[in-house]
Amino acid sequence: MTEATDSDHEVARSAAARTGEVLRDLRRANRDADPAWLRKEGDRAAQAALAGYLAEVRPDDVVFSEEAADDPVRLTADRVWIVDPLDGTREFSEVGRTDWAVHVALWIRDGDESGTLAAGAVALPAVGVVLTADEPPALATPHQPPRIVVSRTRPPAEAVRLAEDLRGELVPMGSAGAKVGAVLRGEAEAYVHSGGQYQWDSAAPVAVARAAGLHTSRLDGSPLVYNRAERALPDLVVCRQEVAVAVMRALNDRSADVA
């Protein structure tokens, strides 16, 4: 079976939304808390809420989470939930920031063993939005010149060069889910990342992006593959199809020049 059921989509949506509510309540109740404490408590509370819910409604499935030990049984399982209970922990701890998220994706094994992201949900609790693969948002008309969302703390050199080539604008932002959400919601045309990500950072956002018809790949254009033994999946491109050819050509022409 390589397709998610309607109930799988509902589980993804509910898991993301419920965890988001826990985080939103925690943040409201601790407005003046030490940021370091809030980051730690946010990770703990989100993991407890998300793992607890999945254990209740999908007890036979494996969960692969940033905030839990990696169980190698996932590599032989047919159904694996790839989750990041709180993506953008730094932003969560900063007063007034909305660019943090909850990621929930379901990976299902298929015939060639590469598997597929069959369901996904990204909650953006601070703005009251849950983006899902079964009901992806309709895409707005793309903006020109293109806006490219990047890490607010470490924008990759590839994105800086891409903005120069396309005469685009860099938009710093926190969570990967918030960045992909910005493309989905018409606030940006592309998201480019290089270095420092893991499978849980992109699985749910990519599931929703694919369902909405966006281009998703690694920087060199190769496919993003999940539930591999290597947890790191360090580079990512998510963009509108209207700019995909120009984005990938610019990224890879530059790479060839450097090589």
Tell me the pLDDT tens digit for each residue of 38-96: 999 999 999 999 999 999 999 999 999 999 999 999 999 999 999 999 999 999 999 89
Residue 256's pLDDT is what?
45
Overall average pLDDT of the 122-127 stretch? 97
Residue 156's pLDDT is what?
82
Range with the poorest average pLDDT among 21-30, 147-156, 226-235, 237-246: 147-156
Residue 257's pLDDT is what?
45
Is 70 exceeded by the pLDDT of residue 166? yes
How far, in Å, CA of 103 to CA of 87, rounded?
7
Residue 1's pLDDT is what?
52
How far, in Å, CA of 241 to CA of 30, rounded?
42
State percent of the chain over pLDDT 70.
97
Q: Residue 164, Cα to own-chain centre: how many angstroms?
A: 25
Is 70 exceeded by the pLDDT of residue 136? yes
Is 80 exceeded by the pLDDT of residue 105? yes
Arithmetic mean of pLDDT over the chain: 93
Residue 2's pLDDT is what?
62
More confident residue, 214 or 253: 214
Residue 101's pLDDT is what?
98
Residue 258's pLDDT is what?
37
Overall average pLDDT of the 100-127 stretch? 94
Residue 195's pLDDT is what?
84
Per-residue pLDDT tens over the stretch 201-244: 999 999 999 999 999 999 999 999 999 999 999 999 999 999 99
Residue 254's pLDDT is what?
55
Range with the poorest average pLDDT among 1-5, 29-33, 128-132, 209-213: 1-5
Decide if 47 contacts 26 (C-beta within 8 A): no
